[in-house]
A and B are shown apart, each in its own frame.
Chain A
Amino acid sequence: MDSNLRREIILDNYQDPMNRGLIEDDSYLKVNTNSESCIDNLDFMMKIEDGVVKDIRFDGEACAISTSATSIMIRRLLGKSVDEVKKVLEEYQKMLHEEEYDEELLGELIVYDEISKQPNRLNCALLPSEAIEKMLKEIK
Chain B
Amino acid sequence: MNREDFPMLDDSIIYFDNGATTLKPKQVIDAMNKYYLKHSSNIHRGDYDAAVTTNNAYDAVRDIVAGFVHCKSREVIYTSGATMSINLVVFGYMKKHLKKGDVVLLNKAEHASNVLPWMKLQEEIGFEIQYIPLSEDYEVLYENVVNCVYSKTKVISLAHVSNVIGDVRDISKIGKFCREHGIIFHVDGAQSVPHMPVNFQESYMDFLSFSGHKMVGPTGVGILIGREELLEEMEPLCYGGGMNAFFEEDSTYELKSIPVRFEAGTPPIAEVIGLGEAISYLQKIGMDKIHQYEKELKQYFLSKVKDIPNIIVYNKNINSGIVSFNIDGVFAQDSSVYLNHYHICVRAGNHCAKLLKDVLPVKNTVRVSFYFYNTKEEIDSLIEALKNSKDIFKVVL
* Chain A contact residues, CB within 8 Å of chain B: 6-7, 10-11, 14, 38-41, 61-65, 67, 118, 120-121, 124
In the complex, chain A residues whose CB is within 8 Å of the CB of B364: 39, 61
Inter-subunit contact B334/A64 (CB<8 Å): yes
The CA-CA distance from A136 to B84 in the complex, in Å, is: 39
- Could you say which residues of chain B place their CB within 8 Å of the CB of A63? 331, 333-334, 337
**A-B pairs with beta carbons under 8 Å apart, 9 shown:** A10-B393, A14-B393, A38-B349, A39-B350, A41-B363, A61-B364, A64-B331, A65-B397, A120-B337
Contact of A7 with B393 at beta-carbon distance under 8 Å, contacts A39-B350, A39-B364 already known: yes
Q: How far is the CB of B264 from chain A (nearest CB, A)?
A: 30
CB contacts (< 8 Å) of A121 on chain B: these are 337
The distance in angstroms between the C-alpha atoms of A39 and B364, with both chains bound, is 8
Is residue B348 contacting chain A, with contact meaning CB distance below 8 A? yes
Task: Give the interface centre of A6, A39, A124 by most chain B CB atoms within 10 Å.
Answer: A39
Chain B residues closer than 8 Å to A6, beta-carbon distance:
397
Give the contacts of B317-335 with A (CB-CB under 8 A): 331-334
- Is B100 in the interface zone, CB < 8 Å from A? no
Which single residue of chain B is at the shortest CB-CB distance from A40? B333
| Residue numbers in A under 8 Å from B396 (CB-CB) | 64
Instruction: Tell me, yes or no, whether B45 is within 8 Å of chain A by CB.
Output: no
Could you tell me if B393 and A61 are in contact, using CB atoms closer than 8 angstroms?
no
Alpha-carbon gap, A121 to B333, bound state (A): 10
Asked whether, in the complex, the Cβ of B332 is within 8 Å of the Cβ of A64, the reply is: no
Chain A residue with the shortest CB-CB distance to B363: A61
The chain B residues found within 8 Å of chain A, CB to CB, are 331-334, 337, 348-350, 363-364, 393-394, 396-397
> Inside 8 A of A120's CB, which chain B residues have their CB?
337
A7 close to B333 (CB less than 8 A): no
The answer for the CA separation of A65 and B396 in the assembled complex, in Å, is: 9
**Chain B residue nearest in CB terms to A8:** B397
Closest 8 CB pairs of A and B: A39-B349, A63-B333, A7-B397, A63-B331, A63-B334, A10-B397, A64-B334, A39-B364
From B333, B363, B397, A38 is in contact (CB under 8 Å) with B333
Known A6-B397, A39-B350, A41-B363; further 7 A-B contacts with Cβ < 8 A: A7-B394, A14-B393, A39-B332, A61-B364, A63-B337, A64-B331, A120-B337
Q: Which residues of B contact A41 (CB under 8 A)?
A: 363
B13, chain A: closest CB distance, angstroms: 15
Q: Are B393 and A64 in contact (CB under 8 A)?
A: yes
Contact of A61 among B331, B337, B394, B397 (CB under 8 A): B331
Within the complex, what minimum Cβ distance (angstroms) separates A27 from chain B?
30
Chain B nearest CB, measured from A63 CB (Å): 4
Residues of B within 8 A of A40 (CB): 333
Q: Collect the chain A residues with CB atoms within 8 Å of residue B333's CB.
A: 38-40, 63, 124
Report the bound CA distance from A96 to B167 in whole Å: 42
Residues of the B chain whose Cβ atoms lie less than 8 Å from the Cβ of A7: 393-394, 397
In the assembled complex, the Cα of A10 lies from the Cα of B349 at a distance in Å of: 22
A62 to B332, CA, bound (A): 9
For A10, the chain B residues whose CB sits under 8 A away are 393, 397
Choose from A11, A14, A39, A65 the contact partner of B348 (Cβ within 8 Å): A39
Residues of B contacting A118 with CB < 8 Å?
A: 337
Chain A residues contacting B348 (CB-CB under 8 Å) are 39
With a 10 A CB-CB cut-off, give which of A6, A62, A63, A121 has the most chain B CB atoms. A63
For the complex, give the distance between the alpha carbons of A40 and B349 in Å: 9
CA distance A62 to B331 in the complex (A): 7
Which residues of the partner chain A approach B363 to less than 8 Å between Cβ atoms? Answer: 41, 61
Residue of B nearest to A41 (CB): B363
CB neighbours of B337 from chain A (8 A): 63, 118, 120-121
**Residue in A closest to B332 when the chains form the complex, CB atoms:** A39
Cα distance A64–B350 in the bound complex, in angstroms: 17
**Does B397 lie within 8 Å of A64, measured CB to CB?**
yes
